[in-house]
Amino acid sequence: MNGLKKMIYGLCFVVGAGCATSVKYEDATKVETTTADFGSTDLQQIANKMVDSLLSFPPIIQTTTERSPIIFVDTIKNKTLEHIDTESITDSIRTKILRSGKFRFVDMTKVEAAKKQFEFQNESGMVNQATAAAFGRNIGAEYMLYGNFASIVKKSDNVKDVYYKFTLNLMKLETGIIEWADEKEIRKISKRSLFGW
């Protein structure tokens, strides 16, 4: 009996020891289903779908065969109930498009910082003018990338059903025509069970 008791205490100790905080590296590309909230897999799915769709759209293939037009990325309106960093989604999309070599980008969020550097180079008297970047040589963007991110959430006592819809549009600035658009839908359900983890 004493032996059995010791065995139980030992097992309790082992199980208890397993509950201590531990840290390990995980695969960043692995499907993540911790909760039904927006997660890394959703971000990766949206970015992949949007880039694949844009780069395989026949009129875009035609436009980008001979040259790499310039795009500026406007904001993605977050209409979901969650706090989602939509800039992170557009960053992933921009990186993938840029690496394909099909488009080039201008970053409107860095205009002020670039302007300060221009002024320093041209007006401070500290920079050799032969090496200073000249004013008025920036290239105007031809297209604007913008979109919406919406969600529908339904809840019951034990079930949460989340539907996400990400829409992205590419507008030609000169004509105002939307040259390409696509959307990605994601639906996730989380269920709370009585047993298990």
Q: Which residues bind another protein (CB under 8 A)?
A: 1, 4-5, 7-8, 11-12, 15, 18, 27-31, 33, 40-41, 44-45, 48, 51-52, 55-56, 61, 64-65, 96, 99-102, 196-197
Q: Which ranges of the chain does DSSP label H, i.e. alpha helix?
A: 2-17, 40-55, 58-63, 86-100, 111-123
Min. distance of Cβ 9 from another protein in angstroms? 11
Min. distance of Cβ 65 from another protein in angstroms? 6
Contact call for residues 47 and 29 (beta carbons, < 8 A): no
Question: Nearer to another protein by C-beta: 28 or 134?
Answer: 28
Locate tokens 């034990």: which residue? 158
Question: Nearer to another protein by C-beta: 41 or 86?
Answer: 41
Min. distance of Cβ 48 from another protein in angstroms? 7
How does strand 104-106 pair with strand 159-172? unpaired
How does strand 159-172 pair with strand 143-155? antiparallel
Question: Nearer to another protein by C-beta: 27 or 112?
Answer: 27
N-term to C-term CA, the chain: 33
Min. distance of Cβ 14 from another protein in angstroms? 8
